[in-house]
Structure 1
Amino acid sequence: MRAAWEDIQGSWRGFKQHWITYLALFLGLDLLNQWVIIPLFRWVTTVILQAGEIPFISYQNIVIICQQHPLVIIGLLVELLLLLMVVYWQFALLLLSIREFSVGRTGFYSLLQNSWQAVRRLRPGSLPLMLIYFILIIPFADLVFRTPLLAKVQIPAFIVDFMTRSDRLFIFFIATYLVILFLGIRWLFTLPLMVFRAQRTRTALVNSWRKTAHWQWISVISRLILVGLLATIGLGIVYGVIYGFQIGWDHLLPHSQALVPAVANLTLIQVVSEIVTVGSMISSLMIITQQDFGEIQYTTNGANSHHYGWALLVLVVIFGGATIANNHVYLQGEDDQRPITISHRGVADNNGVQNTIPALEKTHRLHPDYVEMDVHETRDHQFVVMHDENLKELTGVNKTPYQLTLKQLTRLTARENGHSAKVASFDQYLNAAEHLHQRLLVEVKTTPHDSPGMLKRFDQQYGQRLKRDHDQVHSLDYGVVAELKHRDSTLPVLYIQPYNLSYPNSQADGYSMEYSTLNFDFIRQAHRQHKQVYAWTVNQPSLMKQMIYDHTDGIITDNLRELNSAIDDYLSHQSYANRIMNFILVVPAGTRLEP
């Protein structure tokens, strides 16, 4: 334990000796990523898809794209390889900066040249291995190898949710995660070996495996965990003190005058967060690179380079000015907008059986703006209210909606959450919603067994009625969106996207996006096209507030009471301390400075 503590102290001393250069480097990379690299790659993806007249990529059309648009696939693969090289270049830049700064060599151009040489040593055959490697180290991205670019890579939450629905899937998910975690640990030294020793990817992977054999990785991982804990505890103390001071200012000063210390305190939180995040990451990288990399020294007495001080000053002006302006707007609530509340599958807090009329009636009492529900086509070409493609989980009948007539389906009883209710036809459900004056968000479910005229009948039977009731339609199948908009351009139809890959580009009137990959950039681009963005399925208060912070137009949730409470708390302007606490809970540390 004493040795671990000494290593951490030494790494922090190494950071403090060159904190100006490190901050300048990280803020510069952040600016480069936010303003150039990420927008550029999203734009390129959008252009490639537009060239092939492809509005989106999903599991539904990937096979068709591969078969009918080989040039699009080639373009996307080339883009992926270029992105991989950019990520590797940033890692090489960070690792080399530790070596160069530790021995007093702080020349930026030489650092760029050396990092470019590291990229040039990559061979085309190494890139697939590099892709696998970066996937494996994602669990370490927030602590060890985090860059603003890699931080954008996330596993969509709906995949995690799906994998935890049954015991078998959950066990498989945990086993897979443990295997990935184990491989990531064993290959932890791959990048340093490639950058410092100029080893090829395959050789570096083999040597990293040897270096972590016989449980030798435990000492490194324990130190990394300790660095993370110390950083978290330190930030918690700082946040608590600043929050306490703001409570005092809110009580001592009139509300208008308390704004000035509130802006200062929120800005201080952002600055401290950035410094601690950069410091903990540099400390972690130093701990990794000191393992058998003798050229790295952490006891240099050199001072910070003055030319990096000027660079940092320029970056602080750019980031600081924007951050202070944003903080003023945020604390005043000038940009706040109450999102549309949408009850997922017609239930709220397990108050009934999903997609049934009794649950709709109970949920309506909580006053959601919309009730989201699902429809399937039946064997006799009618529409039944049902989410799952198989009825077994809710009704105990191992059949699918397209195998039964509407009359057979509405005789079934669905059971869930200790409740029971009859399966409803869409006509019955729509009649109940109209009686309650409850607007609906209708998800049209599709299967390969649907009849050719399904969407034509849906539009003829319900299109005008839905518009009259101010209801909306959305679907995970883009074919539904395209055909319904072709048949009636005035019918509001949104496209459901399970992940965020490119800029919004479709015929849809808006998007229902899975929340974990939804970001402000996508929302801003959609708003420029006058299209709405809904987030699904958001069930935690902190995530609800994050969606409000990012200006999401609507939030789809299973916990409607929690959502209403989170909205009221976030939009409350009773104290600046409350706004500051919401910011701390909503925005992840290390991403709080806004250029």
Structure 2
Amino acid sequence: MKRPPLPVRRSLAEGYREAFTRLGRTLVVVAVVQGAVALVAAPLLVALFGLATRASGLTAVTTTTFGQFLRSPAGLAIAITSLVLVAAALLAQAAIFAFIADARLRDGGFTARGVARRLGERLSDLLRRPSTLLLIPYLVLVVPLGQAGIGSVLTRWIAIPRFVTDEIVKTPMLAIAYIVVILLLWWVNLRLIFTIPLLALTDMTAPRALARSWMLTRWRSVRVVALLAGVLVPLAIGSMILAGAALLPTLISDATVPDASLAVASLSLGALQVAVFFFVGVMLMVQAQTLVAALRAAQAWEDAPLTVAGPRRRVGRPLAVTVVTASVLAFGGASAAASGPLDEVADGATLVLAHRGFTASGVENTIPALDAANAAGADLVEMDVQQTADGRWVLMHDTDLKRLAGKDTSVGALTLAEATAITVHDEEGRTAKIPSLREYLQRADELGQQLLIEIKVHGGETPDYVEGLIDLIDEVDGADEHIYHTLSADVVDEFTRLRPDLTIGYIVPISFGGVPDTPASFLVLEQSVYTQQRRDDIWNTGKAVFVWTVQDEADMRELMRDRVDGIITDHPDLAVKTLEDVTGEKGLSARLADAVGRLIATP
């Protein structure tokens, strides 16, 4: 049986030709569609999620409060509505580009009214069908996690948290399984790449469109990759050219007129933001037109032509003038907004915390890793403690010993003597004994090393375990010599009740909404949760902000310039050096380069 053709070269040629020979109209489409998504849809959805949080009686939805959120009918209803709206907005965004692409390929023109009418008809038809719910997991999970093609700002927040992937890759089998799952999601995205164009341009239901795309791409994955690569590679090259053009004026200014560098860098970053907005939008139009051209070829081969057509009409001058005016205003606003962050200089006060010690030189949560972290210059060493079956305390992150010792048992099932007799190892072959908390505290005292002690809860603790832990630390080293944090809101409450004079933090791996309601002295944010706005909101409550697990040097520089109170990292040596480099740095080029890098990485 012959397979439908998916012509690569011809489809790409048609995609680029239609986008760039009518570049003015393409820019207007980008401004209207992408502007509506960025300035209307995205803020509206954020507001709806905030409303859902407040309707549940919460200030923020975290891993601890998620159960309460699910038990709130009002909050859950608003959240479900928000997810439906996310899917609808994603569908509408992609469908509009598909409508315009098809109309251009048919007769060269379209009208805004015609596109709006067709969009309304298709959305109305699809939303009446229960089977359309299949699009929610596809659009909200499979597409953003699979990362095939240019994505949407609406799903930028959907990703596997870095702390999860960091833990996964520490176990070889889990790392392999993770890679397989990601590749599988990517492949599924390739196979379903024509789903949205089919939904937009035919009267198919969601299940039929998904099945049809799957059929059209059977044994065609390489061609689909070629279609997407023909868009993504030029996108990457063009982005790098724009980045270089944005950096050059500030490099010159730093060398010749340093006092003008802040203004030059702000204007450059503002101009780059507008340029990237339009460039990515144009390439999104190219992607849509390329896919529609390939789909049209496949449908024509089977004598099942697409159905949408529109009368040819030029974009009205008033709309074009409005877009130009809005772009100029956006440039001014972006430049003004950029001056504040670019003017921030690291003050050297950010604490460097070694995550479970320095694991490049010792097994995590062991004495050798503590010694190495101290030698690397870490301000604090973060470590994990758990209670044993006999009410004592040892260092261990995982609740079981499979990863580090290859044993099918848990810390809570072992006595202190049994646990400390076990040898743990890492992937490099280093070994060490599991240390007791008493032993670890004594070594830290000898080194003069302050600790950040994470209190792990496995569910089998004694009723007075928090009090017992504090008493032990007081006995060995003085509980006020160290600081503490935990994932458990109950532990924070009990710890604060028993010893309000001590400093304890609340770990926030996932958070939506405002600042979590907690008596903790500081919040430990997972890196993907951190934003400057969230930092300011937390600071306004009088709490400090720590960020974990920060591994990349550019991320370290950004957070140090943001003057967060501490960063937790597996690379304390790099963090210490980076802090020295950025503290009091001169010139704007380095700061602008990092800002440009972040913008290009997540346009």
TM-score (norm. length: structure 2): 0.84
Q: Does 1:381 align with 2:391?
A: yes
Deviations 1:565-589 (A, max 9, x none): 3344455633332222222223345
Are 2:395 and 2:436, in contact at CA under 8 Å, matched by a contact in 1?
Answer: yes
CA distance in 2, matches of 1:335, 1:557: 18
Deviates more, 1:203-212 or 1:254-263: 254-263
Are 1:21 and 1:305, in contact at CA under 8 Å, matched by a contact in 2?
Answer: no
Q: Does 1:237 align with 2:237?
A: no
Deviations 1:293-337 (A, max 9, x none): 75779997x654333334324533553233212333344336877
Q: CA deviation at 1:10?
A: 1.4
Are 1:277 and 1:590, in contact at CA under 8 Å, matched by a contact in 2?
Answer: no
Q: Give the structure 1 partner of residue 13 of structure 2.
A: 6
Q: CA deviation at 1:540?
A: 1.8
Aligned residue type for 1:445: K
CA distance in 2, matches of 1:326, 1:305: 31
Q: Give the structure 2 partner of residue 499 of structure 1.
A: 510
Q: Does 1:119 align with 2:123?
A: yes
Q: Does 1:309 align with 2:313?
A: no
Are 1:154 and 1:517, in contact at CA under 8 Å, matched by a contact in 2?
Answer: no
Are 1:277 and 1:589, in contact at CA under 8 Å, matched by a contact in 2?
Answer: no
Deviates more, 1:288-297 or 1:489-498: 288-297
Q: Give the structure 2 partner of residue 47 of structure 1.
A: 54
2:252 alignment partner, one of 248, 268, 286? 248
Q: CA deviation at 1:532?
A: 2.9
SS in 2 for 1:587: helix
CA distance in 2, matches of 1:297, 1:562: 58
Are 1:89 and 1:118, in contact at CA under 8 Å, matched by a contact in 2?
Answer: no
SS in 2 for 1:372: strand
Are 1:352 and 1:419, in contact at CA under 8 Å, matched by a contact in 2?
Answer: yes
Q: Does 1:205 align with 2:210?
A: yes
Q: Does 1:189 align with 2:200?
A: no
Q: Does 1:372 align with 2:382?
A: yes
Are 1:373 and 1:443, in contact at CA under 8 Å, matched by a contact in 2?
Answer: yes
Aligned residue type for 2:198: L
1:425 alignment partner, one of 421, 427, 436? 436
Q: Does 1:87 align with 2:90?
A: yes
Deviates more, 1:455-464 or 1:366-375: 455-464
Aligned residue type for 1:148: V
CA distance in 2, matches of 1:523, 1:488: 26
Q: Give the structure 1 partner of residue 302 of structure 2.
A: none
CA distance in 1, matches of 2:310, 2:601: 26
Are 2:416 and 2:436, in contact at CA under 8 Å, matched by a contact in 1?
Answer: yes
TM-score (norm. length: structure 1): 0.85
Q: Give the structure 2 partner of residue 351 of structure 1.
A: 361
CA distance in 2, matches of 1:321, 1:569: 31
Percent sequence identity is 22
Are 1:27 and 1:315, in contact at CA under 8 Å, matched by a contact in 2?
Answer: no
Q: Give the structure 1 partner of residue 39 of structure 2.
A: 31
Aligned pairs, number: 579
Are 2:505 and 2:522, in contact at CA under 8 Å, matched by a contact in 1?
Answer: yes
Q: 1:6-405 residue pairs with structure 2 within 5 A?
A: 6-13=13-20, 16-25=23-32, 26-34=34-42, 36-50=43-57, 56-58=61-63, 73=76, 76-96=79-99, 98=101, 104-107=109-112, 111-112=115-116, 114-121=118-125, 122-123=127-128, 125-134=130-139, 135-139=141-145, 143-144=149-150, 146-215=151-220, 218-251=222-255, 253-290=256-293, 291-292=295-296, 303-333=314-344, 339-347=350-358, 350-391=360-401, 393-395=403-405, 398-405=408-415
Q: Give the structure 1 partner of residue 589 of structure 2.
A: 577
Q: Does 1:485 align with 2:506?
A: no
Are 2:389 and 2:413, in contact at CA under 8 Å, matched by a contact in 1?
Answer: yes
Q: CA deviation at 1:387?
A: 1.6
Deviations 1:330-384 (A, max 9, x none): 4433687753211100115x12232223332331233323211000101221211
SS in 2 for 1:505: coil
CA distance in 2, matches of 1:363, 1:590: 33
Change (3 A) 1:185 1:159: same
Deviations 1:24-72 (A, max 9, x none): 22233212245x324313312321332xx696453x7767876x66665
CA distance in 1, matches of 2:466, 2:129: 47
SS in 2 for 1:152: coil
Change (3 A) 1:305 1:442: farther
CA distance in 2, matches of 1:277, 1:260: 26
Deviations 1:445-465 (A, max 9, x none): 111222222123224444797
Deviations 1:175-220 (A, max 9, x none): 32333223222221221222222322112212222332342x5434
CA distance in 1, matches of 2:576, 2:54: 39
CA distance in 1, matches of 2:495, 2:512: 24
Change (3 A) 1:106 1:485: farther
Q: CA deviation at 1:413?
A: 4.2
Structure 1 unaligned residues grouped into runs of 5+? none
